[in-house]
Amino acid sequence: MKLVLPSIEYEESFRGYLKELETLGRSATEVDSETLFKQSSSFEDFVTKLRAGAEGKFLPEGYVPHTTYWLVEGERFIGGVNIRHRLTDHLREIGGHIGYAIRPSERGKGYGNKILELALPKAKELGIIQVRITCNEDNIASRKIIEKNGGVFDGTATTPDGTIKRRYWITKK
């Protein structure tokens, strides 16, 4: 199991992930990719645009440069993680440096912990020593993952739609 940059070799498995989300009535916005996927002319174009996010290209207004990695096991796409290179006021309060999602059929198997564990050294490589990460107040699994990876609780914030977010800092030396 490893983190990789998005690649066309995972197309079939990634499309399977999207179908799993559709079955649950959700979208890939969990990893900020649905709009980009829909706007892309091909899977190759989608991958190119995802990878260009690290350079600040193809991003919606207000987004910061971010690097996307995919957690894969063999040829199977397990989940995705975005590491935002810097924080805006909104990200400091609500979103954080790191956002991740695990495909529905693989949740509850330890992959959430693994993706965050692998993402933290990637954040450090980007010069991010103190990582802000958040989760919904009612997401007990994410709370445990964050705390297991060194997250120190730093209060809550409420989104415009009324969702309560728990905020954490993870410091890596």
CA distance 93 to 96: 7
- Looking at residue 8, its pLDDT comes to 95
pLDDT averaged per 10 residues in sequence order, the chain, 173 residues: 96 91 64 68 92 88 91 94 94 92 92 96 95 95 95 95 95 79
pTM above 0.85, yes or no: yes
CB atoms closer than 10 angstroms to residue 126: 16
- Looking at residue 35, its pLDDT comes to 67
Element (H, E) at 98: strand 98-102
> Crossing angle of helices 111-125/140-148, nearest 10°?
50
CA distance 156 to 67: 26
Domains of the chain: 2-127 (3.40.630.30)
CA distance 126 to 69: 13
